[in-house]
Amino acid sequence: MKKMLLLLFLPFVLFASNMQYELKIYATLLSNLFPNYHTIKVWSDNAKKSNMLSYLSNIKIVKDINNADILIVQRKKDLPKNKIIFATNYLILKHYKREAIGGFYWKKGRPNILFLRSNLFNHHIQLPSSFNDFIEDRL
């Protein structure tokens, strides 16, 4: 119980204000992408993101990429096929536009969240209708 308390409490005192928002955004995205998962297994090549997300109680950071439910990707690399990819910058979303379900990135001087309809469909992901504003047919 103590550990759980710590896990829930720490994100909001340890992180700078912008990271608190970022954490809440990822919590919202992941909860809606995997609504029925008790624990969501996340792999990322971004150590800061992994560290940040590890403070969320329903997230488990995994080192084995094949074990992950979702890959949060910052750089280009060979990724296993059929994994759910989520990009952390515009360049990488452009690179994986045929595979990635979406991304959270800076463009035009503002942060953006975008999901690609066809890639969501390929992964049988049905987001709530309230997400429609964030879903596009193409990048």
Partner 1 sequence: MLRKFLFLLLLVVGVLHAEDLKALLSGYKKESELSNITKRDAAGILELFTRDDLEKMQVHSLLDVLEAIPGIYLQRGSNNLTLLSTSSKVNLPLTYTRLYINDHDVTSSSFGSAFLIWGEMPVEYIDHIEVYKATSSMEFGNENGAVIIRLYTKKASRENGSKLKVGADDFGSLEGNFYTAQVLDNGISYFAFANGNNIKRTTYHNTYNNNTYDYNSNRESYNIYGDINYKSWRFELNVYKKNNDGFIGIGSHKTPNGGGLETNHTYLHITKTFQNDLKLQLSYDKSTYNRTYNDPNGIRVANAPLLNHYGINFDDDIFAVILEKKFKTTNNSLLLGAFYKNKGFESNGDYYDTNLSYRHTNDDSNALALSSVYAEDKYNINQNFQLIGSIKGDFFRYEKDVKSQNELLARGGFIYNYDKYKLKAFYTKGYVPLAFYQIYNPENMPYRANPQLDTIKTDIYTADLEYKSNQQTVSLEIAQMRAKDLLVYDRTTVNGWKNSSAKYLITVYQLDYTYRFDLNNKFSSSFIYGNNSDNMASASPFNILLKSFNKYKKFDFYNALNYKSSYTSIYGSYIKSGFEFTSALKYHYNKDLMLGLKGENIFHDASQEAYRGVAFTIPTVDQKFWLNVEYLF
List interacting residues with partner 1 (CB under 8 A): 5, 8-9, 11-12, 16-18, 20-22, 24-25, 27-29, 31-32, 56-57, 76, 89-91, 95, 105-113, 127-128, 130-131, 133-134
Cα 86 to Cα 51: distance, rounded to the nearest angstrom: 17
Cα separation values, 106 from 16, 57, 81, 114, Å: 18, 27, 26, 11
- In angstroms, what is the minimal distance from the CB of 123 to partner 1? 18
Sign of CA dihedral 74, 93, 65, 69: positive
Nearer to partner 1, 10 or 118 (CB): 10
Nearer to partner 1, 63 or 110 (CB): 110
Using alpha carbons only, give the angle 15, 20, 25 rounded to the nearest 5 degrees: 145
- In angstroms, what is the minimal distance from the CB of 82 to partner 1? 25
- In angstroms, what is the minimal distance from the CB of 81 to partner 1? 22
- In angstroms, what is the minimal distance from the CB of 78 to partner 1? 16
